[in-house]
Amino acid sequence: MTDTLHEPFHTDPSTDLSTHVPLTKPQLPSIATTLAAAVSWGLAGLPALLLSWPIAGWVVVGWILFVLALPTWSGLIEGGRKAVDRLVTILVWSTFALAMLPLVAVIYTVVERGAGALSVEFFTASQQGVLGEGGGIYHAIMGTLIITVIASVISIPIGIMAAVYLVEYGKNNRLSRTLTFLVDVMTGIPSIVAGLFALALFTLLLGPLPRIAIGGSIALSVLMIPIVVRSTEEMLKLVPEELREGALALGVPKWRTITKVVLPTALGGIVTGATLAVARVAGETAPLLLIAGTLRGTNFNPFDGAMQTLPVLIFGEATRGGLAEYVPFQIERAWGAALVLIMIVMLLNLLARVVGSLFSPKTGR
């Protein structure tokens, strides 16, 4: 398929067969890539072993050899264009490997350094009265749970209804165009600005330097609503127009068409989008730092006083410093909390995928 015509087709019958030009250029064998890779990293392995380089050095030197070797070989046999193509292919795949590096490194480091912190006490105790060793993150887990659940209760209905307006009622009128634009703007709001908004709001209501958990939920809602609107909107647009027309033709009122036909059809996608939005805001730190504050004990009342959350706890423990003998325990606690937070977020992501695939046949595709 990739054979290229080197010369125009010969029409002159008198052409001497001895000067026959082949129609195809020679190609590298299909194992060429594997072979070049093996040779490159093998060659790099010699000095790496002899001079005891770190693994990263061996990988980088091997990669450089590989990038030089395969295109050069290809250039000699297949010609310049194929060589460039092979070079770009290597580079493009390398970007992917490079992009995966931080993901693997972060997850590995978090598990490696956080696993040691996990214990029964870690999940059942708060930091009340604990300075160095011991204590746990129960208060922060509860705080994250409460604040995120309230944020979801605020955001998901508003987000879904706004998307319903955009798709079912708005029909590109002025209000819906403005709303689409504003949702775009909201998507780009930096999380700390959402926190400052909640802070400014509650400063007006409660006086200077308010610390209140419900404010954290409101700040998270500002971040969450646009995500829910976007994903729900996409899903509603996928619902076939025939379903709506069919229901309306049977005399079903529009609102029942929406609640009984359109929304159930798109349910899988909507739930997936909402779950991903929850996962996204569960890890938000900046707004909660500003308005929900920090607390060493457990607080179950979102309307009164500060409430500790997992991300804020990680930030706090990592930056606290203080007595040198306490610092290692604080850092270990930060990693442990990071592990718990990552597990929560990844579980939510997994849940979203599972829900999405469970419900997806309903869209009739």
Partner 1 sequence: MSTIQADPAPPSDPLQEEGSTGRAGDSIFRGLATGAGMIIMLALAGVAIFLVLQSIPALGASGEQAYGADNIVVYIWPLLFGTVLAAVIALVIAAPLSIGVALVISHYAPRRIARLLGYLIDLLAAVPSVVYGLWGRETLQGWVFPIYDWLHDNLGFLPFFEGPVTTGRTILTAGVVLAVMALPIITALCREVFLQTPVMHQEAALALGATRWEMIRMAVFPYARSGITSAVMLGLGRALGETMAVALVLSASGIVTFNLISSQNPSTIAANIALNYANASGTKVNVLIAGGLVLFLVTFAVNFLGRYLAARGRAKA
In three-state secondary structure terms, 353 is: helix
Residue 283 or 302: which CB sits closer to partner 1? 283
Q: Count other Cβ atoms within 10 Å, centred on residue 344.
A: 19
Q: How far is the CB of 14 from partner 1 (least distance, A)?
A: 28
Size of the site for partner 1 (CB under 8 A): 102
Q: How far is the CB of 219 from partner 1 (least distance, A)?
A: 10
Using CB under 8 A, which residues numbered 139 to 168 contact partner 1? 157-162, 164-166, 168
Q: How far is the CB of 114 from partner 1 (least distance, A)?
A: 10
Q: Report if residue 279 touches partner 1, rule: CB under 8 A.
A: yes
**Cα(355)–Cα(147) distance, integer angstroms:** 23
Using CB under 8 A, which residues numbered 307 to 346 contact partner 1? 311, 314-315, 318-319, 331, 334-335, 338, 341-342, 345-346
**Cα(255)–Cα(249) distance, integer angstroms:** 14
Six token digits for residue 25 = 């250029």
**Cα(316)–Cα(182) distance, integer angstroms:** 34
Residue 159 or 268: which CB sits closer to partner 1? 159
Q: How far is the CB of 355 from partner 1 (least distance, A)?
A: 15
Kindly indicate which of the ranges 23-31, 85-93, 237-245, 261-269 contains the residues binding partner 1, using the contact rule CB under 8 A. 85-93
Measured at the CA of 190, the angle between CA 288 and CA 141, to 5 degrees, comes to 25
Q: 274: exposed, middle or buried (C-beta count within 10 Å: 0-12, 13-18, 19+)?
A: buried
Kindly indicate which of the ranges 62-70, 88-96, 238-246, 267-275 contains the residues binding partner 1, using the contact rule CB under 8 A. 88-96
144 and 292 in contact (C-beta within 8 Å)? Answer: no
Q: Report if residue 362 touches partner 1, rule: CB under 8 A.
A: no
Q: How far is the CB of 16 from partner 1 (least distance, A)?
A: 27
Residue from 204, 249, 250, 324 in contact with partner 1 (CB under 8 A): 204
Six token digits for residue 358 = 């469970």
197 and 222 in contact (C-beta within 8 Å)? Answer: yes
Q: Count other Cβ atoms within 10 Å, centred on residue 88.
A: 11
Residue 15 or 89: which CB sits closer to partner 1? 89
Q: Calculate the CA dihedral of residues 236, 246, 248, 159 and round it to 10 degrees.
A: -10
Six token digits for residue 32 = 């060429």
Q: Report if residue 105 touches partner 1, rule: CB under 8 A.
A: yes
Q: Report if residue 89 touches partner 1, rule: CB under 8 A.
A: yes
Residue from 91, 115, 354, 358 in contact with partner 1 (CB under 8 A): 91
Q: How far is the CB of 241 from partner 1 (least distance, A)?
A: 19
Q: Count other Cβ atoms within 10 Å, centred on residue 48.
A: 18
Using CB under 8 A, which residues numbered 9 to 68 contact partner 1? none
Using CB under 8 A, which residues numbered 182 to 201 contact partner 1? 182-194, 196-197, 199-201
Q: Report if residue 297 touches partner 1, rule: CB under 8 A.
A: no
Using CB under 8 A, which residues numbered 227 to 256 contact partner 1? 229, 251-256
Q: Report if residue 363 touches partner 1, rule: CB under 8 A.
A: no
Q: Report if residue 274 touches partner 1, rule: CB under 8 A.
A: no
CA 21 to chain centre: 54
Q: Report if residue 286 touches partner 1, rule: CB under 8 A.
A: yes
**Residue 78: which residues within 8 A CB-CB, separation 6 or more?**
25, 26, 27, 28
Residue 298 or 349: which CB sits closer to partner 1? 349
Q: Which of 234, 229, 235, 233 has the alpha carbon at shortest distance from 187?
A: 229
Six token digits for residue 354 = 């599972």
